[in-house]
Structure 1
Amino acid sequence: MRHRHLPTVALALGVVVLLDVLRVWLPSIITIFGRAAETPAELLGAFALSWFLLALAAPALVRRLGAGPVGLVAAGLLAAVRLALTAAPGGRPQLWLACAGLLAGLVWLAATAARVDRPVAGLALGLAGAAVGHALLATEDLVWRGGVPGWALSVLLVLAFLAASAASRSPEARQGTPAPTPQDPPADPALRTADEAADAATDGPVAGWTGARAWLLVGPALFVAGQLALAPALWSASYSYRAGSADFPGLGLPPGTASILPACAVGLFLLAALTRTPARLGRVLWPAILLAGAALFAADRPAWLGWAYLLAAVGLGGCLARTDAAPASAVVPGRGAAARRGYAVVGGMLVFAVASVAYYAAYDLGYPNGWVPVGTAALIAGCALTGPAQAAPVLTGYARSLPALLSAVLVLLAGVLPGPARRSAPPATPPAAVRVAAYNIRMGFGLDGRLDLDAVARVVRGARPDVVLLSEVDRGWLLNGGHDTLALLARRLRMPYVFAPAADPVWGDAVLSRYPVRSGRSRPLAAHGAPTGAQALGVTLDLGGRELAVVATHLQPPPGRGPVAQAREVAAFAVRYAAGRPLVLAGDLNTEPGEPAFAAFTTAGLVDALAAARPLPTSPADDPRQQIDHVFVSPDLTAADPRAPRSTASDHLPVAVTVGLP
């Protein structure tokens, strides 16, 4: 490898490591620092933003101590934290480790910006590499994986990052000039004026902005890529809407579904980011494509997710290429340009933090959040529109063939992704009873704040269910790390699933069943003042000549009130959907026996299937005091063996009951 490409390699590997840390830091804010529906969203946002504001001092630190030493120390700390997070037991140690890693990553970015004037190639390769790794791990992060394979890959990643970072400090590998070592200012004011004049002559406002433009977009690009453009979980969720029947997309989708499109999207992103497009065409085309993808995503239409994913990937790559320009002069840039790039990248990461907090705070504060990805994409598009008249090639020499080579490799890798499993077959004879379990899985995060879907699967398997109803199913939220928890659990449990969106197309409720799903219907529930959306999902199971109607829901009470209005909606929907067939209704209902919302179900003629085990508290999981997870059945069904197995794999306990058929 030529020396001049080492900074690009170091930046790409560093982006992958930093994204690993961010995928731990972001959910730790919710699951460890705060508790959902208890910690004010304003407090969570202030804590999150404070770390990015603290990093605004990083460019000054780099200028005083030198980009080389600061960057190498920060890279070492970032790598050490990355490994420590895999070994961390969760809880407060995980939170503070992730915060330390985030801060080290921001300082490393500022130091790298002082030395590298053209970051697009490294940024694009890093984002693509992270997306491919996430896809190959079925959207599960490497950082959460222990064992010999997980540790070996993690160690190789950080060692490669550190080696590339150290090698890129050599004079042959430098892109731009490292910040000078500290020295006393000139004693003579005239000399100081001359020094400032020399800086101004070699890196004036135009040249400084041209160099800082691409660095400013690092944070917005991370947000758009993680939220939409390069999020394999989003495609996994969108694929489930395309499968199934005409009346209900995603009906009975088998676990392990995959498609070649994620690899194609990443390949097209690389081609757009690392090649040169004619200026007049690219200046209009790439921003338009990116904004179209963001607008489709913001429309909250499940059927449009695939197009949003593909368009945003291509548009993001093209816009990044438009901002990557060679230095305006052959003269070595001065300290001012390096400082501007440092402040640009830290400011861009602050945009990442604000966008992330603003998007998800909407589910606590109740304002429309579709403008957040559109606004972030508009910032990127604006920088591309005002970019240089003709951007220089991002890669030179033999590296020009890299996009085509990587794209071919990605398409080949798509062939090793898990393929569809067989759908369930109806039993030869109808069963006498069906075991039903309902579980609020909190996006797969346990009380320790670690993503542990193996623990969730063990709890579910321990209940020996035939049908599983899940609440708080996350299929791609960046705030939770961008995982498709439903597909991951379905693969572990070997059960086909049906998913219905509630808050948005990748957040909602699901039913997994060993029996075939013949029909389904989803109904959005009125908010009644609650900021988070809710729905009722009804499916019909084929029990071998007999049918069972199952309704899954997660009621969202308005602030200071119970979910009685939603409970009445769900009860009425369930009775109509069952249409005289045996019925099971279950989920996190956020109401206790004796309350009006609980009475709404019994008034509708349903029976409490857990009555024999009352009191049966299910929340919080470590000290259950509230009975808010329930199973109701129609009067023609009998309930036996109700249980709430103890576990801290979520903040709720699951409830399970055997339902005897008439």
Structure 2
Amino acid sequence: MRRDEILAKLNVRLPEAVSAIALPALAVALGLQCIRVLISGLTWVLGDRFQLGAFQLGAIAFAVFGVAFLASLLRRKLGYRRVIAASLISLSASAIFVQIWPGDPIFGLIAAGAGTAAFTLFLPVYLDEVRRQEDAAIPLFAAGFLCGLVVDSLLSGAWGTYDPIWQQSAVPVLLTASQVAALMFATVKVWGEIPVSPPGPIRSRSGAWIIVGPFLFLQLLILQNIPSQSTLTGLNTATTYLWLIGAELAGVIGAFFLHTRHADATYLATLFSSGLLVTFAFFPFSTGVMGLALLLLAQVSACYLFFTVVLGMNNTQRGHTMNLSTANGVGMLLLAILILAYYAVYQIALPYENSMLVMVSAVLVSGGALTSLRYSKTRLRVNRKQWAVALLACAVALVPPAVHASTETQPAVPSDEGFPVKVLSYNLHNGFNYIGKLELEALALEIERSGADIVALQEISRGWLVNGRVDMLTWLAERLQMDYFFGPTTGPFWGNALFSRYPIISAQNHQLPSDGLPLQRGFISAKIRVGGENLQVIATHLHHVEEDTETRIGQLLALMAFFNPAERTIIMGDLNAEPSSTEIGLLRGLGIKDVIATIEPPPAYTFSAKDPFQRIDYIWVTPDITFSEPAILTSTASDHFGVMVTITK
């Protein structure tokens, strides 16, 4: 049967519907990618590299997201079509520039800021124009927005959570270019279908739209976050990817289905969904099967509530307190505030738990949906043939994650190759190089070239938004084909890791004294089979504030009590103390050997990669271990140099 005959049989105006959904979907996907680059750039380019403070970073973030307040003014001065064209072209050009720019990431950050600002302008202007059209236009916009989450997750998961926008190889660049081309094509298609409205302000009122910020916060932080859910549930990345895509698709279909029911059922569904989302906010980081179930219910609930808010916005509203442009601006500022406030607790001591912000977001989304119910007059009518098309589209969307899950590469089985064995300690700076660019491939190449068999890694991030929302652990493990053990220290998503080509017989994670510290610390102890015997490896990362010597001493005393001292042991990591310090004197007093101190000529500095001036990374061995070839890996892939040595017996 020919394609046009199938479409006629299904009685669906597929080209028009696809364009109306694809336009917001592709814009949302590109917008979310720009937001992630922006948040990472603020943290690592401006904060870490240029040492801007929290208030300065906050002001810059507010300036970028605050551009949303200009939507009504621009709509009045330029008209709908010019604003939409300018915002989408800016968003597309920004995404392309971020990806292909090979130079200083400060320019990529500026482009990401421009793309984010364009995205915040696009939403209210396009939504305002959509509301002037027939009733079917509003649900198609809502579906498109939610499908944008699906597109974004599909792209992120397909690359192992290392977003294509960070990668400059041919396939990711072509993929982003294809997104942009599809967005431009959808824009042209929709352009001809929407009548030209005269220039004027965005007058209609829709205060509930402020939930767009809290809704996106929940998505970026938890519901759409493949690395964090993989960490919590214990599933591999590919299986988690499949589950999250399924949950997002269930959210889109569920939102449509529930809004085809009678008004009483819609009220009950809204109340029930609000209760589910708020309940989830009490347990946002549940583990195991419970975590998977709560994630599914929370995603379906969040999508339904968002859908309810959008359907509640029409031109006949009179009861809302702010217009769409203002509501959108407030929502975007809320997004910036929530993200900054969530991660600020890892920098300075603040009088709240960041999980409280999840609850605030859930309450705002639920409240927005409940207040929108009285304005929602649209009951959707979807016939069976249209359902068939929608379900077929969902099935197609599930194919990439299903294939990915069924073909995921398993790490090589570790084997005991005997001595000699090369060991490496490397602080990865959360995946960012010394100038603030996320470059996991450069780090992987450095580890690969070293020939290391056992690798202690510090600053491993699994889904933190400020670190690009990448799962460094599983991406590097698959890339390097090494077995691994993760030791979280600050929550479940950040800490130390141990990679090995030799069998890890056993491993444990231990917390170090960190009372009152924003970043908690710990160490991994592992037994690794080498040459027919168990070699004990201890990998750690101590407190980083230079003046807090007593804190590091307390942490070292706890580590030394565990060590006790044992035979056949290697201790390595970033100790954040120089060789002449009191802390290092404690270790030296145990009679263990500082192998990097034997490098000639001294000094063997390990920090910083840009301008080395101190040694704070170490490998220590007990007297019964012989070694050779101590070395410093002088690469700028991180802000630290790696330290390594060959254990000969």
The residue type paired with residue 371 of structure 1 is M
CA distance in 2, matches of 1:533, 1:36: 22
Q: Does 1:310 align with 2:296?
A: yes
TM-score of the pair, normalised by structure 2? 0.87
Q: Secondary structure at the match of 1:284?
A: helix
CA deviation profile, 1:227-271 (whole Å, cap 9, x unmatched): 1101122233235x468xxxxxxxxxxx97766423322332323
Deviation, 1:616, is 1.5
CA distance in 1, matches of 2:369, 2:576: 47
Instruction: State the match for 2:586 in structure 1.
Output: 600
Instruction: State the match for 1:266 in structure 2.
Output: 248
Structure 1 pair 533/395, CA: closer, same or farther in 2 (3 Å)? farther
Q: Which runs of 5+ in 1 are unaligned?
A: 184-195, 244-254
Instruction: State the match for 1:152 in structure 2.
Output: 174
- Which of residues 126, 143, 149 is equivalent to 1:127? 149
Structure 1 pair 305/565, CA: closer, same or farther in 2 (3 Å)? farther
CA distance in 1, matches of 2:73, 2:546: 45
CA distance in 1, matches of 2:289, 2:504: 21
Q: Secondary structure at the match of 1:600?
A: helix
Instruction: State the match for 1:324 in structure 2.
Output: 310
Instruction: State the match for 1:101 in structure 2.
Output: 115
Percent identical pairs in the alignment equals 27
Deviation, 1:283, is 2.0
The residue type paired with residue 597 of structure 2 is A
Instruction: State the match for 1:64 in structure 2.
Output: 77
Q: Does 1:181 align with 2:203?
A: no
Q: Secondary structure at the match of 1:644?
A: strand
- Which of residues 628, 647, 650 is equivalent to 2:635? 647
TM-score of the pair, normalised by structure 1? 0.85
The residue type paired with residue 321 of structure 1 is F
CA distance in 1, matches of 2:475, 2:645: 24
The residue type paired with residue 371 of structure 2 is T
Instruction: State the match for 2:400 in structure 1.
Output: 413
Instruction: State the match for 2:232 in structure 1.
Output: 238
- Which of residues 189, 206, 216 is equivalent to 1:167? 189
Deviation, 1:601, is 2.2
Structure 1 pair 267/121, CA: closer, same or farther in 2 (3 Å)? closer
- Which of residues 584, 590, 593 is equivalent to 2:576? 590
8 Å Cα contact 1:610/1:639 also seen in 2: no
8 Å Cα contact 2:251/2:300 also seen in 1: yes
Instruction: State the match for 1:190 in structure 2.
Output: none
Deviation, 1:581, is 4.2
For residues 279-428 of structure 1, the aligned pairs below 5 Å read 279-297=266-284, 306-307=292-293, 309-325=295-311, 340-367=323-350, 368-388=353-373, 392=378, 396=382, 399-401=386-388, 403-417=390-404, 418-419=407-408, 421-422=410-411, 424-427=413-416
- Which of residues 523, 532, 540 is equivalent to 1:536? 523
Q: CA RMSD in A?
A: 3.0
CA distance in 2, matches of 1:589, 1:558: 11
Segment of structure 1 superposing worse, 518-527 or 33-42: 33-42
Instruction: State the match for 1:518 in structure 2.
Output: 505
8 Å Cα contact 2:309/2:368 also seen in 1: yes
8 Å Cα contact 2:419/2:531 also seen in 1: no
Deviation, 1:29, is 0.7
Q: Secondary structure at the match of 1:587?
A: strand
Q: Does 1:228 align with 2:227?
A: no
Q: Secondary structure at the match of 2:572?
A: strand
CA distance in 1, matches of 2:533, 2:377: 66
CA deviation profile, 1:298-333 (whole Å, cap 9, x unmatched): 57x68965455434322222222332326667x7x8
CA deviation profile, 1:28-50 (whole Å, cap 9, x unmatched): 11111121795432322222222
Aligned length: 613
For residues 74-113 of structure 1, the aligned pairs below 5 Å read 74-88=87-101, 89-113=103-127
Deviation, 1:69, is 1.1
CA distance in 1, matches of 2:597, 2:46: 36
CA distance in 2, matches of 1:433, 1:48: 51
CA deviation profile, 1:73-97 (whole Å, cap 9, x unmatched): 1111111111111121233211222
CA distance in 1, matches of 2:421, 2:558: 22
CA distance in 2, matches of 1:511, 1:634: 19
8 Å Cα contact 2:458/2:541 also seen in 1: yes
The residue type paired with residue 188 of structure 2 is A
Deviation, 1:503, is 1.2
The residue type paired with residue 612 of structure 2 is P
The residue type paired with residue 492 of structure 1 is R
Segment of structure 1 superposing worse, 542-551 or 28-37: 28-37
Structure 1 pair 609/529, CA: closer, same or farther in 2 (3 Å)? farther
CA distance in 1, matches of 2:151, 2:235: 27
8 Å Cα contact 1:616/1:644 also seen in 2: yes
8 Å Cα contact 1:442/1:472 also seen in 2: yes
The residue type paired with residue 479 of structure 2 is R
Segment of structure 1 superposing worse, 63-72 or 555-564: 555-564
8 Å Cα contact 1:440/1:588 also seen in 2: yes
Q: Which runs of 5+ in 2 are unaligned?
A: 1-13, 132-137, 260-264
CA distance in 1, matches of 2:235, 2:567: 28
CA distance in 1, matches of 2:547, 2:389: 57
Instruction: State the match for 1:247 in structure 2.
Output: none
Deviation, 1:499, is 0.6
Q: Secondary structure at the match of 2:630?
A: strand
8 Å Cα contact 2:342/2:357 also seen in 1: yes
